Structures are given as structure tokens and as C-alpha cells.
Amino acid sequence: MRVLLAEDDVRIANFVSKGLRENAYAVDVVNNGEDALYQVSISDYDLIILDVMMPVKDGFEVCRELRISQDRTPILMLTARDAVEDRISGLDFGADDYLVKPFEFGELLARSRALLRRNGELRPARIVIADLEIDTIAQRVWRGGNEVLLTSKEYALLEYLARERGKVIGREAISTHVWDETFDVFSNSIEVYINRLRAKIDKNFPLQLIRTRRGAGYILDDV
């Protein structure tokens, strides 16, 4: 999943973005509301985390403008202000949830997962394709009953392909959902990670789940 984090406190931004990346999210970080709106205009996000007190445009204004433009991306707002009126204002502007600082990262992660489950079709807690099992909550993977140890990026790529089971997924879609804005479109990173996944998921199994559609992309399926 790809997340936009708009937070002007460098310490909090580093803490949250590091934690999200360690949990297999691709994260873009901005420090003001104007840049947040620009990023949304050029990239697709699965979740937006907005600090209320940002320069140029605050989180309330960013949220309001996104909803006016019919952007329905889930929004989690962060604030140091615990006043009921502030929380009501954020929800009235179209935010989906509200988290008061200071907060535990585990709670932010749980709220993020809850919002992602609400967005569009329900994201399953477990994906099963043939003898491949993916626990999307614990982010653990098994093939043939044996656990497969993956890095955060390998897991993110595998889960994305599994959620799009049976579909041919091109480089552009993969880079959008699995990598952040720093991704070099001319690099061979996607091919490298696909090969790593094949070595861990398909090696020594007669049924190859990850396949290449030449000139189009990659597909994960059991047929």
C-alpha cells in the first residue's frame, strides 16, 4: 500500500515513515499542506495521513479541498489538540479517523489498517492461492506449509500481486503501489525483486505461481 504522510514535525515524520516502511508500506513525506495537495494530484495513494497544524495550508483545509475535488482516499488526521471541537471539525471536513498526539505507533498502524479495509472492497486478512498462504495482518507467508521469510519490500510486492491475482500487472502499477516517489523508473529494481520472490516462493515447487507476460508485466496465479 502507498501512503502520503503530511507532517511538519521532522521527528514525528521520520518516526512514522520509518515504522510504516518497516511494515511494508511505500511512503511519501511532505511538510506542508500545499505540497500534500500537489502530491495527491500527481500520484495515487491508498491512505493519506494529515497533521492538522501544518504551514501554508493546514490539515483541515487540505482535507476540505480533497473532498471537494471528490477524492475519496481514506484520511487519518493527526493533531496535538484534544479539543472535541477540533475532532468534530476534522470529521466534518471529511476525515475518516482522528489520532491525538502523542500516540503509540501500534495504534496508528491499527487505525491505518482499519481505514484501508474500509476503502473499496474488503481487503482479506488472509490470501490463499494454491498452497501459498499470506497473512496480511501479521505479514507472514507460507508455501507448502513452510514459512517463507521475506524482506519488507519483497512482502509488499508479493501481497500486491496476490491482491491482484490473475491480472497482468505492469511496471508502472507496481512502482506506484509498492515503491515511493524516489523510485527510479530506469532501474531494474522490480526485476530484481521479482527474481528474489521466485527464488523464495517458486523454487523447488512444480507449480510456478509468479510468471512473466513478456512486454506486459507479471501475473500471480495458480492456473
Same domain (yes/no): 26, 100? yes
Same domain (yes/no): 16, 96? yes
Write down the pLDDT at residue 132: 95
Write down the pLDDT at residue 92: 79
- From CA 138, how far away is CA 51, in angstroms rounded? 27
C-alpha cell of residue 107: 495504534
Domain boundary among the residues 54, 87, 118 is at: 118
Write down the pLDDT at residue 31: 94
Same domain (yes/no): 104, 132? no
C-alpha cell of residue 38: 500537489
Write down the pLDDT at residue 44: 86
Find the domain containing 21 and state its range.
2-118
CATH number of residue 163's parent domain: 1.10.10.10
Same domain (yes/no): 103, 7? yes
Per-residue pLDDT of the chain (223 residues; tens, 9 = 90+): 789 999 999 999 999 999 999 888 889 999 999 999 999 998 889 899 999 989 999 999 999 999 999 888 999 999 876 666 777 777 778 889 988 888 899 999 989 988 887 754 456 778 999 999 999 878 899 999 999 999 988 998 999 999 889 999 998 888 888 887 677 767 788 899 999 999 999 998 999 999 998 888 999 998 8
C-alpha cell of residue 48: 493519506
Q: Provide the 8-state DSSP code for 55.
A: S
Domain boundary among the residues 95, 118, 141 is at: 118
Same domain (yes/no): 102, 185? no
Same domain (yes/no): 141, 208? yes
How many folded domains does the chain comprise? 2
DSSP-H helix ranges across the chain: 10-22, 33-42, 59-68, 84-92, 105-118, 152-163, 171-178, 189-197
Domain boundary among the residues 100, 118, 136 is at: 118
Same domain (yes/no): 191, 142? yes
In Å, how far are 45, 62, 197 from 185, measured between CA atoms? 18, 29, 20
Same domain (yes/no): 95, 176? no
- From CA 134, how far away is CA 121, in angstroms rounded? 18
Same domain (yes/no): 79, 138? no
Same domain (yes/no): 91, 42? yes
In Å, how far are 30, 111, 125, 166, 209 from 132, measured between CA atoms? 37, 27, 14, 14, 9
Q: Provide the 8-state DSSP code for 169.
A: B
